[in-house]
Amino acid sequence: MSLRFGTDGIRGDARTDRTVAAVAALGRAGAEVLGADGFVVGRDTRESGPALSTALHAGIAAAGGTSSDLGVLPTPGVALWCRDESVAGAVVSASHNPWHDNGVKFFARDGTKLSDDEQHRVQARFDELLVAGDTPVTVGPEARVVDAGPAAVGRHVDFLVGSLAGRGLAGLRVVVDTANGAATAVAAPTLERLGADIEIRHGEPDGRNINDACGSTHPESLRAAVVEQGADLGVAFDGDADRLVAVDGEGEIVDGDQIIAICALDRHRRGQLVGDAVVVTVMTNLGFRRSMAAAGITVVETPVGDRHVLEALDSRGIGLGGEQSGHVIFRDLATTGDGVLGAVQLLDVVQRSGRALADLAADAMTRLPQVLRNVRVASLPADLDTAIGPFVDAAMSRMAGRGRVLIRPSGTEPLIRVMVEAESDAEAQMEADGLVAAVEAMWGAPRS
C-alpha cells in the first residue's frame, strides 16, 4: 500500500505484504497526533477491511489509547460519531476503487477531515514509526476496544430520518443501488422509516463485489431498473457512501451539479439557503454558474476536493456545496459529504414539489457539453499555466464567452487533465483536441 496522503486520505493496493504493519503504525501516528482517548474506527465492506481495522486498533492501543469499533458504516456515519462524541476517528475504505484497494482517512474531533497541517503531522510521525517498526499489528488482551457498531448504525439512521424534521417520503418509488458497500447498513432502514417504497439493488456485499459494475460510478443497471419498473427515480452511492448520483424516471443521470442546483434553488425560494450562496469546485459545469447567477445566488469556487469545499463553507458561513462527482455537503446538517443524506434531501424536494425529478433537473440548470481528457506526461511541469496560457486564451477567444477551459495537473498521477465546455459537443471536442495536442507536444510521455 502506498501510504502517502493524497486528496482524500491514504489509499493503495491492500494485497501487499507490508500493509497490515504499515496501517498499525498509521493508527498509532493518528492517535498520537489527534488524541488517543475514545478513537473510533469504521470501515466499508472490502475483504481487507477487518484486518486493517484491527491493525488500526492495535496502533491506537500502542499509543496508549482506547478505541471503539463502529463496524461497517458509511464514512459520514463515522464523522457524525466523531462530532457527537468529540473524538477523533478513522475510516478504512478506498471509496469508489475496486475491492483489492483499501485506505484510511481520518477525522478530527469535530467530525471534519484533517487540515493540511494535521495531515503533515500524522504523515511525519507515521514515517518515523515505519522506520522503527515496533508497532504491534494485532490487538492484545490489554487493549480496550469497544464494539459500538449497532449503536453507530442506529445513530446515523436516526440522524438521516431526523434531517427532514418530521416530513416523510410516502408514495415515492425509489430504486436504491448501495454498491455492495457501506450504504447497505443505513440506506434501506432510513428510506423505509421515511415511508418510501424502495427496491435495494447491489446490497449483498461479499468482500469483493464492492463497486463492481454498480454504484455511483457504474449507474447503468440502475438506469435500466428505474425505467423497467416505472419507478419515480433511483439513487446510487459509492463504496463508503459519501457521494451519490441520481437517475430520473426517464433513466437519465442527475449528477452532483444538478443535485446541488436543485437543492440550492429550493432552499433559496424558501429562504433557507445559508449565506444565499453555494460552494463548488472548478470542475462544476458552466450551466450551473449561469443558473445560480440568474437566481441571484453567489457561487464560490474552490480547487477539486471536498476538503476545499468544506473549508470554504466554514470560512464564508455558507450552508451548501459540493462536487460534480456527487460529494454534496449540507453544512447546516453535517460535517462532510453524505450520499444517503443527499438522497434524502433530494427526495424531499421531489416529494414537496410534487414534480418529477426530470423536470426539476431541467429547470435547475442547462448543462453545457463537457469534454474531459487525460494526457499522460513524462513529469508534471512547473510552468504549466504560463506555457499553456496562450493556447487557452486562443480557445476562449474563439468561444467568445460561450464556453470554458480548465487545464490542471492530476494530484495523484503524471497526468494533465484537459476540460472544455462549449455550446455544442462538436465545438467542445474541437477545442479539446487542439489543447490536448498542445499539451502532448510540450510534455507528452513517449508512447511504448
Which residues are part of the catalytic machinery? 95
> Distance between CA atoms of 384 and 387, rounded to whole angstroms?
5
Count of positions (residues) in the chain: 448
What DSSP character marks residue 274?
G
Are the beta carbons of 263 and 244 closer than 8 angstroms? no
**Locus of grid cell 492495535:** 58
Are the beta carbons of 441 and 388 closer than 8 angstroms? no
In 3D space, the residue among 185, 186, 168, 187 whose CA is nearest the CA of residue 176 turns out to be 187
Are the beta carbons of 244 and 328 closer than 8 angstroms? yes
Give every CB contact of residue 173 below 8 A, 6+ residues apart in sequence.
Answer: 196, 197, 198, 229, 230, 231, 232
**CA 277 to chain centroid:** 21
Are the beta carbons of 292 and 284 closer than 8 angstroms? no
Q: For residue 90, give the C-alpha cell.
A: 478513522
In 3D space, the residue among 55, 47, 41, 40 whose CA is nearest the CA of residue 126 turns out to be 55
**Locus of grid cell 434524502:** 344
In 3D space, the residue among 291, 289, 292, 288 whose CA is nearest the CA of residue 276 turns out to be 292
Are the beta carbons of 355 and 294 closer than 8 angstroms? no
407-433 burial by CB neighbour count: b if 16+ within 10 A, else e?
bbbbeeeebbbbbbbbeeeebbebbbe
> Distance between CA atoms of 156 and 148, rounded to whole angstroms?
12
Give, to the nearest 10 degrees, the angle between helix 75-85 and helix 339-353.
100
Are the beta carbons of 189 and 198 closer than 8 angstroms? no
In 3D space, the residue among 78, 65, 30, 73 whose CA is nearest the CA of residue 49 turns out to be 73
Are the beta carbons of 67 and 61 closer than 8 angstroms? yes
> Distance between CA atoms of 237 and 86, rounded to whole angstroms?
27
Relative to beta strand 39-43, strand 67-72 is: parallel
In 3D space, the residue among 330, 325, 324 whose CA is nearest the CA of residue 310 turns out to be 330
